[in-house]
Structure 1
């Protein structure tokens, strides 16, 4: 049987043979990643598809979710091997919410994989196994880790997408409502379209025990549609980022020093009965780095 990895390797070999070099491929990848930026009207859609609970008579599936939002995606860093994108939700002109962040790293070998219970396992990847690939590192609203995965961007037959499977914590839409599972195995597809992009998901809701044994409780479908609109609709978010980016640069710098230790990471869920983002969101834009550093230190186990 031909595996997906074998297929992608063959595609890369063929493109090189026909004069489409790896560098050309990389530049096409970069163009796709950077096209995720801009102002978008977003439709978030999630629904449970299958349930496998032993007590199926009393199992209550998550309610189907349909939500809309206006979101600005800021290009924070643009270097040959790293592209950083910050999402900002616009509730109204006076209320901007720092949303998730995604970093794209080329041929990255350092991976933090979510295990369970606010624990991430560090692993060193073999360089030959990530040739031509991009790691998508997704972060929480407070820039703490969420999930990471590495794969190749695919540009073929008019399709332009990146596909990966990675374990993740419960999403915020479930975190305060569900405690009957502790890992979300996310099958993510990011596909560029003529009107923007789509984030498609086929997820497993997993119960993982202390020995790492998994039981699938349910599955769900996610289909988030990002439709590009005029950047002028997101002026409020652009202004907010200009005023607050120094604070969040300090926060990222602290996290970078934590990740650079290249070891497993364990975080407190709450300190003083408050989550990390609750503490950080209360800081003023000109708060000194020592203040945000001290907050994050209290969450490190």
Structure 2
């Protein structure tokens, strides 16, 4: 066999694979950015199956909202989207945030009781994958998962299962389970995107196997509307973005310790967001750091 031809063939194969990877990554980025803009959202959840026949199904949950999704970081291997709720066209509430990291090897996996385990993943396991990190309204951690975006047959989607705390719609109302295993399916559509969920509400205790309480189906449907409908949110973010950049700076330092993390649910009777939301937007970094650090029990 001609060595030069063999070498040329191997090089050509490598080059084709590299181009395909770059094209796929470009499609990934386009899909993630398609989640930015102004959206009318419907939230629908229904419990579907419980292993115990005497389990009493909870009422279905249905809600709607108007939300602005602002791209706040656009780098080669990292995209960040801040979500802002628009209430009655004028009132703005800082909502959740999602960060997307390419071939990321470090993340925090929720355990239970406000504890997150630091996980370092081998590089070969995350090749071509994107980690989605989801954060609370105060930029503290919520859940995280790594998977590959798929682009085929005109569809663009990403799916993963991640441990998370109770959702906001239930955390103040229920105590019969303590972990939600989120089956997340994010898919871009012609007129927006959907977040389809196949969730398991489980009871988790140290040294025991998880106990399934009930399964749940969820659909969050994001329908794109003109950006003008979210003009108030864009204006609010312009005024407030520096403050929240300082908050993220502190959290980045906490996450960068690469240790298991435990957070206080309340300090002086208040959850963290209750302290951050009313703060003067000109508050300095040192004061913000002090407030957040008070909630870090371990990490």
> Which category of TM-score, normalised to the shorter sequence, fits these structures?
over 0.9
Structure 1 unaligned blocks of 5 or more? 1-13
2: CA distance between counterparts of 1:279 and 1:60? 37
| Matching residue within 210, 219, 235 for 1:214 | 210
**In structure 1, the residue corresponding to 2:139 is in which secondary structure?**
coil
**In structure 2, the residue corresponding to 1:174 is in which secondary structure?**
coil
Paired position in structure 1 for 2:225 = 229
| Matching residue within 257, 261, 270 for 1:261 | 257
Q: What pairs up with 1:171-186 in 2 under 5 angstroms?
A: 171-186=167-182
Give the TM-score normalised by the residue count of structure 1.
0.92
Q: Deviations over 1:33-84 (max 9, x none)?
A: 011000000001111111234xx53x43332111110000000000010000
Paired position in structure 2 for 1:84 = 80
Paired position in structure 1 for 2:29 = 30
1: CA distance between counterparts of 2:285 and 2:18? 49
- Equivalent pair of 2:272/2:292 in contact (CA under 8 Å): yes
* Aligned-residue RMSD, C-alpha: 1.6
Paired position in structure 2 for 1:295 = 291
Q: Deviations over 1:223-247 (max 9, x none)?
A: 0100000000000000111111111
1: CA distance between counterparts of 2:261 and 2:17? 44
> Would the alpha carbon gap of residues 260 and 19 (structure 1) be closer, same or farther in structure 2, given more than 3 Å must change?
closer
Residue 17 (structure 1) shift: 5.8
2: CA distance between counterparts of 1:43 and 1:49? 19
Paired position in structure 1 for 2:101 = 105
Deviates most, 90-99 or 36-45: 90-99
> Would the alpha carbon gap of residues 275 and 104 (structure 1) be closer, same or farther in structure 2, given more than 3 Å must change?
same
**In structure 2, the residue corresponding to 1:256 is in which secondary structure?**
helix
Paired position in structure 1 for 2:123 = 127
| Matching residue within 260, 266, 276 for 2:272 | 276
Give the TM-score normalised by the residue count of structure 2.
0.92
Number of matched pairs: 285
| Matching residue within 181, 192, 195 for 2:188 | 192
> Would the alpha carbon gap of residues 100 and 212 (structure 1) be closer, same or farther in structure 2, given more than 3 Å must change?
farther
Residue 123 (structure 1) shift: 1.2
**In structure 2, the residue corresponding to 1:175 is in which secondary structure?**
coil
**In structure 2, the residue corresponding to 1:21 is in which secondary structure?**
helix
- Equivalent pair of 2:182/2:200 in contact (CA under 8 Å): yes
Structure 1 residue runs of 4 or more that deviate by more than 2 Å after TM superposition: 16-20, 59-62
Q: Deviations over 1:261-299 (max 9, x none)?
A: 101000001111111111111112111122221111110
> Would the alpha carbon gap of residues 159 and 118 (structure 1) be closer, same or farther in structure 2, given more than 3 Å must change?
same
Deviates most, 271-280 or 135-144: 271-280
> Would the alpha carbon gap of residues 239 and 174 (structure 1) be closer, same or farther in structure 2, given more than 3 Å must change?
same
